[in-house]
A and B are shown apart, each in its own frame.
Chain A
Amino acid sequence: MTKQVTPNGFTLDDSGQRVVVDPICRIEGHLRIEVNLDENNVIRNAVSTGAMWRGLEVILKGRDPRDAWAFTERICGVCTGVHALTSVRAVEDALGIDIPANANSIRNLMLLAQHTQDHLVHFYHLHALDWVDVVSALKADPRATSELQRSISNWPKSSPGYFRDVQARLKRFVESGQLGPFSNAYWGSAAYRLPPEANLMAVTHYLEALDFQREIVKIHTIFGGRNPHPNWVVGGVPCSIDVNGDGSINMEWLNLVSSIIDQSITFIDQVYIPDLKAIASFYKDWTYGGGLSGKNLLSYGEYPDHPNDWSQANMLQPGGAILDGDLSKVHEVDVRDPEQVQEFVAHSWYSYPDEKQGLHPWDGITEPHFELGPNFKGTKTNIEQIDEGAKYSFIKAPRWRGHAMEVGPLARYVVAYARGHEEIRDQVDGLLHDLGLPLPAIFSTLGRTAARGLECSFTAHKMRYVFDQLMANLKAGDTATANMDKWEPDTWPAQTRGVGHVEAPRGALGHWIHIKDGKLENYQAVVPTTWNASPRDPAGNIGAYEAALLGTPMVDAEQPVEILRTIHSFDPCLACSTHVMAPDGEELASVKVR
């Protein structure tokens, strides 16, 4: 290859030093990244390899469609519930089931709670250590840290003594010589820019957030019985409501939900958002990682305000597609149109009869084919270097009208911004104003991270809106939570197909299903990380991870802080992206699915 320009406008050059980062830690699942650096340690080629393959779609074949949510929920326990919700929506779409208003509100509350908790945990526990130097926090002046904290927020845990205690705890931890999860990392690297006080504040909130996240998910526990992996049901939600009773959701439970919402709003707005701004202010000139974000973005839209209406006008966070960075036009997305969403496998460890063609998920084929290209280095069970000219990932390459797309919080925010969504515009413009940055600054790693934070605040506040909606409906006398009219398979058509979509924390998620004679005939999922971690397609278009890494200078080729920073900004979820499988484990290469 040496040097080439991709159809989607990126220049790749694999002539320089190859660096392999495997495993990428602080993500869900198993991901490998390889890059080539030029003589100035700038990334000139990037290769994203999904390194695991579990599969659920074929396991689902022949099962009861009403059970599918439980199987698909186990695609991912980090974004728990989102696949379950997508699944029940797909089955309801196929069978023509309308859900009650209360079920719509409760589902929205559960999804909003998931976003809020997931984004919070991602920022502090999976991403912060790319920006925050834990060891530097030992040098902080607790009094100055307190002043910093009080200058950015009203959060009450801000005294010099409080920060002194946390610092003492951290000091003894470091001095014990057993650094646990902080071992062998990149502390002291010039890539870290925060002053010690900001590092101490962030480490303190790492611990506070780890404690607080447990509270947010209790909304799942109340309505779905537990978290992770709460329960769902086709036709509505499994919980009933009897405000005056003691056998189901009553006033005490509802009060607890309301209290959790208040606490969540406070924590996000007084801890997460101020931290995000404080940290971002030290990295304003680290403008890398934009990749596809300034070009092609996709969101299906989420949170139907009224039940059973999937128009974008009814969405609390409207979706659509942006092409070529043109924010003046938001394209409508039709998940049923065979020309729009398609998956390609030319560079994936699967095979198609014609690998130049893409397939719509309703017509999807999954024929696994693990094969390393002619230029790979190592052996089959000890891969030293991937050959990206051939098949190189367990992730397929989804495209929208042929375009590689970025999905996730930044995509949702840019699409909603382009649609003129007032609340989201105010959030984005406010943050940019506070940081003194122009709008194009959001097309970056930092922009992706910032959009996730803003969305976390948005979802926390929207829980209040939806809760009030639920209470108003209950007050009006409607307590229904499930529509069981089409529960029995004898009420179903002999054959039908459906699609369900959800905006999951990591982006656009869709399930496409066929039901035949009461059983699942086919099940296909196209998942956020499949979009973002996508390998190349037959035309040579690169995916969002690969594009975002290009052009990034590394301080030290031995320490992949910058690679982690950008990859983590997408919040990878590999178990989600690589779930497809064949029906017969013993003869994988010769079996055709569908």
Chain B
Amino acid sequence: MGDQQTFYEAMREHGITRRSFLKFCSLTAAGLGMGPEFAGKIAHALETKPRTPVIWLHGLECTCCSESFIRSGHPLAADVILSMISLDYDDTLMAAAGYQAEEILEQTVQKYDGNFILACEGNPPLNEDGMYCIQGGKPYIEKLRYMASHCKAIIAWGSCASWGCVQAARPNPTRATPIHKVIHDKPIVKVPGCPPIAEVMTGVITYMVAFGELPELDRQGRPKMFYSQRLHDKCYRRPHFDAGQFVERFDDEGARKGYCLYKVGCKGPTTHNACSTVEWNGGLSWPVKSGHGCLGCAEDNFWDRGSFYSAVTNLGVTGGVEATADDIGEVLAGAAAIGVAAHAAASVVSHMKDGSKGDSSHD
């Protein structure tokens, strides 16, 4: 890896001062939810670690992950691509095509065997011998398996790669299959969401480049720094939930006042993601803030959990507001699920009793 530049060298060469570099490290540390003492560690890592080759593959997907990635404001996608990593293969962005593009894969294996990151957007279909996703005349699953066998670690971008997402929704006719169910011998970090938040994506990449390891993951393989909270826990509309102030239908008085969207189907109480803290598009807004409930797009199988407009009743969380992803795991406790529903119902009942529906004096 002798011909690789470090991230710091690349930034310096691109005319960025040491002062700006250190500021970038501080912002990155803050963006990752770490204290200022980590800025020095990040700076040290970026000064000494070589630019990491990244191979970005696309299976069955809609490319929303790539689109989200280029929306990143800190760091800018251009800075990630030109200075932080070496994005040697990404069929959505690369200049080459045909065999000149595919040659890069073999070159990467020869040159960086065991030392490149494999970023997977989308998933492989397994039916019809994998031929529902053909690349270079061959099934995508072959390419995925081959590159995975030579990579250092895998990032599963988005809900397609992490869980299966829309093409895997009932009845999943192509047998679209998430990465962890076909690759078993490499570390995988899942970055779910349809799509994931841009700064979550670049945050994960930054962490891996800076520290040379995966971020701390929960039991489902998601970075704790972004997926340990339910949206509901940190939702700015939570006080309205607690006060029993709900939007009953779109564009009603409650909607104009910014009340809780629980009753019009918000999946915030069961969804682990960073929307309510990091927010979207440079921290500008997020679905709840715009007036639509959370679809739950970062959760496994969210397409088959009933209507997006049905209030959450059949799913729940353990441990109340303080619960983390680890506490919940994959098993949902029915009793606690009823707890949340009962909590909401009680709020509604108390709300209706005093007959102040839509009355801001309730605040």
B292 A247 Cβ-Cβ under 8 A? no
A184 B249 Cβ-Cβ under 8 A? no
B309 A67 Cβ-Cβ under 8 A? yes
A181 B282 Cβ-Cβ under 8 A? no
A484 B259 Cβ-Cβ under 8 A? no
Range, interface on chain B: 35 or more
Q: Indicate with 1 or 0, residue by residue over A239-278, a CB within 8 angstroms of chain B CB atoms.
A: 1111001111000000000000000000000000000000
Instruction: Tell me whether A172 and B13 are in contact in the complex, defined as CB-CB below 8 angstroms, given that A247-B259, A381-B130 are known contacts.
Output: yes
B309 A235 Cβ-Cβ under 8 A? no
Please provide the chain A residues from 475 to 504 with a CB less than 8 Å away from any CB of chain B in the complex. 479-482, 484, 487
B residues within 8 A CB of A185? Answer: 94-96, 100
A residues within 8 A CB of B232? Answer: none
A55, A78, A186, A226: the one within 8 Å of B280 (CB) = A226
A residues within 8 A CB of B242? Answer: none
B residues within 8 A CB of A231? Answer: 287, 290, 292, 295
- In the complex, the chain B residue whose C-beta lies closest to that of A378 is B137
A178 B291 Cβ-Cβ under 8 A? no
- The residue among A74, A80, A480, A484 with the most chain B CB atoms within 10 A of its own CB is A74
B97 A23 Cβ-Cβ under 8 A? yes
- In the complex, the chain A residue whose C-beta lies closest to that of B308 is A67
B257 A210 Cβ-Cβ under 8 A? no
B70 A238 Cβ-Cβ under 8 A? no
Q: Is B263 an interface residue (CB 8 A)?
A: no
A residues within 8 A CB of B131? Answer: 370, 380-381
A183, A218, A223, A226: the one within 8 Å of B94 (CB) = A183
A242 B289 Cβ-Cβ under 8 A? no
Q: Is B92 an interface residue (CB 8 A)?
A: yes
Looking at the assembled complex, report how far the CB atom of B264 sits from the nearest CB atom of chain A, in whole angstroms: 9
A residues within 8 A CB of B172? Answer: 585
Instruction: Tell me whether A585 and B174 are in contact in the complex, defined as CB-CB below 8 angstroms, given that A51-B134, A180-B81, A380-B131 are known contacts.
Output: yes
Instruction: Tell me whether A225 and B280 are in contact in the complex, defined as CB-CB below 8 angstroms, given that A22-B136, A210-B78, A231-B290 are known contacts.
Output: yes
Q: Is B303 an interface residue (CB 8 A)?
A: yes
Q: Is A320 an interface residue (CB 8 A)?
A: no
B134 A28 Cβ-Cβ under 8 A? no
A173 B82 Cβ-Cβ under 8 A? yes
A51 B133 Cβ-Cβ under 8 A? yes
A229, A230, A246: the one within 8 Å of B258 (CB) = A246
Instruction: Tell me whether A218 and B250 are in contact in the complex, defined as CB-CB below 8 angstroms, given that A240-B256, A383-B137 are known contacts.
Output: no
Looking at the assembled complex, report how far the CB atom of A538 sits from the nearest CB atom of chain B, in whole angstroms: 24
B residues within 8 A CB of A214? Answer: 70-73, 281-282
The stretch of A90-98, A138-146, A435-443, A575-583 that contacts the partner chain: A575-583
Q: Is A424 an interface residue (CB 8 A)?
A: no
Q: Is A129 an interface residue (CB 8 A)?
A: yes
Q: How many A-B residue pairs have CB under 8 A?
A: 332
Q: Is A474 an interface residue (CB 8 A)?
A: no
A248 B250 Cβ-Cβ under 8 A? no
Interface residue tally for chain A (C-beta within 8 Å): 108
Looking at the assembled complex, report how far the CB atom of B92 sits from the nearest CB atom of chain A, in whole angstroms: 7
Looking at the assembled complex, report how far the CB atom of A534 sits from the nearest CB atom of chain B, in whole angstroms: 18
Looking at the assembled complex, report how far the CB atom of A453 sits from the nearest CB atom of chain B, in whole angstroms: 20
Whole-angstrom distance between the alpha carbons of A55 and B289 in the complex?
31
Q: Is A505 an interface residue (CB 8 A)?
A: no
B257 A178 Cβ-Cβ under 8 A? no
Please provide the chain B residues from 89 to 110 with a CB less than 8 Å away from any CB of chain A in the complex. 90-98, 100-104, 107
A residues within 8 A CB of B165? Answer: 74
A227 B127 Cβ-Cβ under 8 A? no
Whole-angstrom distance between the alpha carbons of A7 and B211 in the complex?
62
A residues within 8 A CB of B97? Answer: 21, 23-26, 560, 564
Whole-angstrom distance between the alpha carbons of A239 and B252 in the complex?
10
- In the complex, the chain B residue whose C-beta lies closest to that of A564 is B97
B10 A176 Cβ-Cβ under 8 A? yes
The stretch of B55-63, B181-189, B317-325 that contacts the partner chain: B55-63
Looking at the assembled complex, report how far the CB atom of B320 sits from the nearest CB atom of chain A, in whole angstroms: 27
Looking at the assembled complex, report how far the CB atom of B219 sits from the nearest CB atom of chain A, in whole angstroms: 27
- The residue among A55, A173, A185 with the most chain B CB atoms within 10 A of its own CB is A55
Looking at the assembled complex, report how far the CB atom of A587 sits from the nearest CB atom of chain B, in whole angstroms: 10
A67, A242, A584: the one within 8 Å of B173 (CB) = A584
The stretch of A58-66, A308-316, A340-348 that contacts the partner chain: A58-66
B residues within 8 A CB of A26? Answer: 91-95, 97
Instruction: Tell me whether A77 and B128 are in contact in the complex, defined as CB-CB below 8 angstroms, given that A185-B100, A242-B257 are known contacts.
Output: no
B63 A183 Cβ-Cβ under 8 A? no
Q: Is A419 an interface residue (CB 8 A)?
A: no
A residues within 8 A CB of B175? Answer: 585
A227 B280 Cβ-Cβ under 8 A? yes
Q: Is A125 an interface residue (CB 8 A)?
A: yes
A25 B101 Cβ-Cβ under 8 A? yes
Whole-angstrom distance between the alpha carbons of A383 and B90 in the complex?
22
Whole-angstrom distance between the alpha carbons of A59 and B164 in the complex?
13
B136 A229 Cβ-Cβ under 8 A? no
Whole-angstrom distance between the alpha carbons of A236 and B292 in the complex?
12
- In the complex, the chain B residue whose C-beta lies closest to that of A584 is B171
Instruction: Tell me whether A210 and B77 are in contact in the complex, defined as CB-CB below 8 angstroms, given that A240-B251, A380-B131 are known contacts.
Output: yes
B residues within 8 A CB of A55? Answer: 167, 173-174
Q: Is B229 an interface residue (CB 8 A)?
A: no
- In the complex, the chain A residue whose C-beta lies closest to that of B93 is A181
B residues within 8 A CB of A228? Answer: 64, 67-68, 71, 195
A227 B136 Cβ-Cβ under 8 A? no
A78 B130 Cβ-Cβ under 8 A? no
Looking at the assembled complex, report how far the CB atom of B196 sits from the nearest CB atom of chain A, in whole angstroms: 10
- In the complex, the chain A residue whose C-beta lies closest to that of B197 is A226
Please provide the chain B residues from 9 to 46 with a CB less than 8 Å away from any CB of chain A in the complex. 10, 13-15
Whole-angstrom distance between the alpha carbons of A168 and B252 in the complex?
56
Please provide the chain A residues from 103 to 141 with a CB less than 8 Å away from any CB of chain B in the complex. 121, 125, 129, 134
Instruction: Tell me whether A165 and B15 are in contact in the complex, defined as CB-CB below 8 angstroms, given that A75-B62, A77-B195 are known contacts.
Output: yes
A71 B169 Cβ-Cβ under 8 A? yes
Looking at the assembled complex, report how far the CB atom of B262 sits from the nearest CB atom of chain A, in whole angstroms: 15
Q: Is A155 an interface residue (CB 8 A)?
A: no
Instruction: Tell me whether A581 and B173 are in contact in the complex, defined as CB-CB below 8 angstroms, given that A168-B15, A218-B284, A247-B256 are known contacts.
Output: yes
Whole-angstrom distance between the alpha carbons of A168 and B255 in the complex?
52
Instruction: Tell me whether A211 and B76 are in contact in the complex, defined as CB-CB below 8 angstroms, given that A64-B309, A225-B290, A240-B255 are known contacts.
Output: yes
B residues within 8 A CB of A58? Answer: 171, 173
Whole-angstrom distance between the alpha carbons of A371 and B103 in the complex?
28
Whole-angstrom distance between the alpha carbons of A56 and B60 in the complex?
12
B3, B82, B292: the one within 8 Å of A180 (CB) = B82
Looking at the assembled complex, report how far the CB atom of B348 sits from the nearest CB atom of chain A, in whole angstroms: 19
Q: Is B288 an interface residue (CB 8 A)?
A: yes
Q: Indicate with 1 or 0, residue by residue over A154-190, a CB within 8 angstroms of chain B CB atoms.
A: 0000000000010011001100111111111110000
- In the complex, the chain A residue whose C-beta lies closest to that of B142 is A381
B residues within 8 A CB of A169? Answer: 13-15, 82
- In the complex, the chain A residue whose C-beta lies closest to that of B77 is A210
A180, A221, A479, A487: the one within 8 Å of B88 (CB) = A180
Instruction: Tell me whether A52 and B65 are in contact in the complex, defined as CB-CB below 8 angstroms, given that A236-B250, A245-B257 are known contacts.
Output: no
Please provide the chain A residues from 31 to 80 with a CB less than 8 Å away from any CB of chain B in the complex. 32, 49, 51-56, 58-59, 64, 66-67, 70-71, 74-78, 80
List 18 other contacts, CB 8 Å, given A183-B94, A484-B249, A582-B173. Answer: A23-B91, A25-B94, A53-B133, A58-B171, A59-B166, A169-B13, A183-B96, A186-B95, A218-B284, A222-B290, A225-B289, A227-B71, A247-B259, A248-B257, A383-B137, A384-B137, A484-B251, A487-B250
Of all A-B residue pairs in the complex, the 7 with the closest CB atoms, nearest first, are A77-B64, A247-B258, A225-B287, A225-B290, A185-B95, A238-B292, A231-B292
- 6 A-B contacts (beta carbon < 8 Å): A59-B167, A59-B169, A77-B62, A181-B88, A225-B280, A240-B255
